[in-house]
Amino acid sequence: MHRCIARFAEHRWHCSVRCMSSAVGKRRALRSAFPVLDLPLHPIQKHVYEANLRNSNACLKKYAEFSEKVRKGGGENATARHTQRNKKLLVRDRLRLLLDDEDFLELSQFAGLGLPYGDIPSAGCLTGIGRINGLWCMFIANDATVKGGTAYPITVKKQLRAQDIAIQNRLPCVYLVDSGGAFLPLQSEIFPDKNQGGRTFYNEAIMSAMKIPQVSIVCGSCTAGGAYIPTMAEETVMVHRIGTIFLGGPPLVKAATGEEVTPEDLGGARLHAEVSGCVDHFAWEEKEAFEYTRNIISTLNFQLPEEEEETTTTTKKKKAEEEPLYSSEELLGLAPQSYNYSLDVKMVVSRLTDGSRFQEFKARYGTTLVTGFAKICGHLVGIIANNGDLSYEAALKGSHFVQLCDQRDIPLLFLQNTAPTPALTLSTTQAETNTNRLKAQGSMMSAVACASVPKITVVIGGCHGADSYAMCGRAFDPNFLFLWPNARVSLTAPGHAGSLLPPDGEQEEELKKKQEEKLNGRLKEESSAFFSSGRMWDDGVILPQDTRKVLRDALDIIKQQHYQLSTEKLQSALLRI
């Protein structure tokens, strides 16, 4: 039901955007001169800034360690086996050949690290959004150096999230298949449930029906469940000698019939291109397969706008992009190490927006939430940023602003830094305040859930309790949700475990203290950005200083759907779903 409403909402957004986009390229954005946020760092803020900076540097170190782990994939032996014995390209080299450049938006790069069943680098599968012939495409690429590219539960989760993003943003999908199918020891966590293995194939069918193109490249093993990805894609390329598609491999055939057969004869590229017809293009080598794929993408019938340029007297320069007045490096000192170290969130805003400009909405009301309009690399957005408790007034203001942006079809950017613990009810007056706050927060949650515009959430500090739902947490289906490395994700922040323990007058002080300590330790470990990202509660950890670029890419990606030409039948296709 929820999905239907969400689809309807997305559909409404697509339709309204499509109507507006007929004259794409000829139109220009309305001129704006939003006020400049003149917010340099004051000496009085210096000690907080420096403490945050120290914490950010420690987080960056962790980020570098995790990145290195991911870069090594399945390790030296597996890499040698993959490249020397199996004569295949490594997954990042494949992406280099497929994409226009290396400037792609990688998603959930730390997924799979620190799980109960071990470290699974990149969850055995790279996902991200990169450009092919200028068109943003979602890629889902197995890394066969990680246990033969087999699917762990986290791999399935990562693939499904990539497909969800592709559905929400109408992105063509390119699958680079090189997988031994299910990781058998964990089969019960991969196979039977709704959001498990089979959902990948369901999504492929649904996306095709929605006219979201599905293209696949078989550049390795494609065994069992994996075999359906290329066969269900609209167009498939397969590489000679490297690619195989079969439900059961030669050992199974031998066990069942006693017959000895080579992988190539059982399900190689020649067989599938010439006999079964499962694939559409035969490539002699990987490089050729990626060239075919790039050509396939150029037939998808999108018409991208020319880069908007304006002629000045001497040079041609890109229009409408003003850099912020302050260095993005300063965001490292603004990233709060804990709630008490939060500085005015408008300082963060001023380091992200074009020209540090911001047209604030309801500046004097509900000031613990900052709302207003800004441009990020030329894209108009509505910004909603925590600047303290999500009080009654702040939540009312939030609802109003979300509805305003929804009405004007302006994407929403949430900068989330919620309070560490819910407000306590210690008196009747407090009870009334909290009840009112509850009602207002409920309204804000409804407004956020029902808004049909794209939403992007960046957790710049805390992500705790119900406030995080109103600030478009994961459960509220933002198009993208990123974390800064200093982010903390838990019901209650570390250090506040006392608020989670039941009141017990009888309990010995000593025992209670021990329980609290234990719980706080656990909260600390489980609330780190890397713990969250390892489990895919987000779309990845991004560095504060890269945030503007990531937002630019995300907003470009969201906008691309306006340029798909083959959409006359789209409306009826969407209504059927």
Least separation in angstroms between residue 145's CB and ligand COA is 9
Interacting residue with ligand COA among 45, 79, 86, 338 (CB under 6 A): 86
Interacting residue with ligand COA among 182, 229, 402, 555 (CB under 6 A): 182
Q: Does 180 bind ligand COA (CB under 6 A)?
A: yes
Which residue has the CB atom at the shortest distance from ligand COA? Answer: 180
Question: How far apart (Å, rounded) are the C-alpha atoms in residues 271 and 251?
Answer: 19
Q: Tell me the backbone φ, ψ of residue 65, rounded to 5 degrees.
A: -60, -45
Q: Tell me the backbone φ, ψ of residue 391, rounded to 5 degrees.
A: -75, 180
Tell me whether residue 159 or residue 443 sits nearer to ligand COA (CB atom): 159
Tell me whether residue 151 or residue 348 sits nearer to ligand COA (CB atom): 151
Question: Which tokens hold the place of 511?
Answer: 């025992």
Least separation in angstroms between residue 174's CB and ligand COA is 21
- Compose the 104-143 pattern: x for residues touching ligand COA by CB under 6 A, - for all others: ----------------------------------------
Interacting residue with ligand COA among 197, 249, 336, 372 (CB under 6 A): 249
Q: Which long-range contacts (CB under 8 A, 24 or more apart) does 193-201 make?
A: 195/156, 195/157, 195/160, 196/153, 196/156, 197/151, 197/156, 197/225, 198/225, 199/156, 199/160, 200/156, 200/159, 200/160, 200/163, 200/225, 200/228, 200/229, 201/225, 201/228, 201/229, 201/232
Contact 419, 467 (CB under 8 A): yes
- Compose the 545-574 pattern: x for residues touching ligand COA by CB under 6 A, - for all others: ------------------------------
DSSP 426: -
Q: Tell me the backbone φ, ψ of residue 34, rounded to 5 degrees.
A: -65, 150
Angle at 404 between CA 21 and CA 479, to 5 degrees: 60
Q: Does 181 bind ligand COA (CB under 6 A)?
A: yes
Question: How far apart (Å, rounded) are the C-alpha atoms in residues 126 and 96?
Answer: 13
Residues 377-406 that bind ligand COA (CB under 6 A): none
Least separation in angstroms between residue 391's CB and ligand COA is 52
The stretch near ligand COA (CB under 6 A) out of 62-70, 180-188, 374-382, 500-508 is: 180-188
Interacting residue with ligand COA among 126, 224, 415, 483 (CB under 6 A): 224
Q: Does 150 bind ligand COA (CB under 6 A)?
A: yes
Least separation in angstroms between residue 219's CB and ligand COA is 12
Least separation in angstroms between residue 269's CB and ligand COA is 15
The stretch near ligand COA (CB under 6 A) out of 130-138, 174-182, 291-299, 380-388 is: 174-182
The stretch near ligand COA (CB under 6 A) out of 91-99, 181-189, 204-212, 437-445 is: 181-189
Q: In sequence order, what DSSP letters do the residues of 203-270 get, joined into one string?
A: HHHHHHHTT--EEEEEEEEEEGGGGHHHHHSSEEEEETTT-EEESS-HHHHHHHH-----HHHHHBHH
- Compose the 17-46 pattern: x for residues touching ligand COA by CB under 6 A, - for all others: ------------------------------
Q: Does 183 bind ligand COA (CB under 6 A)?
A: yes
Interacting residue with ligand COA among 108, 221, 486, 564 (CB under 6 A): 221
Contact 180, 149 (CB under 8 A): yes
Least separation in angstroms between residue 287's CB and ligand COA is 21
Contact 491, 467 (CB under 8 A): no
3-state SS class at 414 = strand
The stretch near ligand COA (CB under 6 A) out of 52-60, 182-190, 422-430, 471-479 is: 182-190
Q: In sequence order, what DSSP letters do the residues of 511-543 get, joined into one string?
A: HHHHHHHHHHHHHHHHTBHHHHHHTTSSS-B--
Tell me whether residue 202 or residue 365 sits nearer to ligand COA (CB atom): 202
Question: How far apart (Å, rounded) are the C-alpha atoms in residues 241 and 88?
Answer: 10
Tell me whether residue 230 or residue 420 sits nearer to ligand COA (CB atom): 230
Q: Which long-range contacts (CB under 8 A, 24 or more apart) does 310-315 make?
A: none
> To which residue do tokens 């609290």 refer?
516
Rule CB under 6 A: which residues touch ligand COA?
81, 86, 147-148, 150, 180-184, 221, 223-224, 249
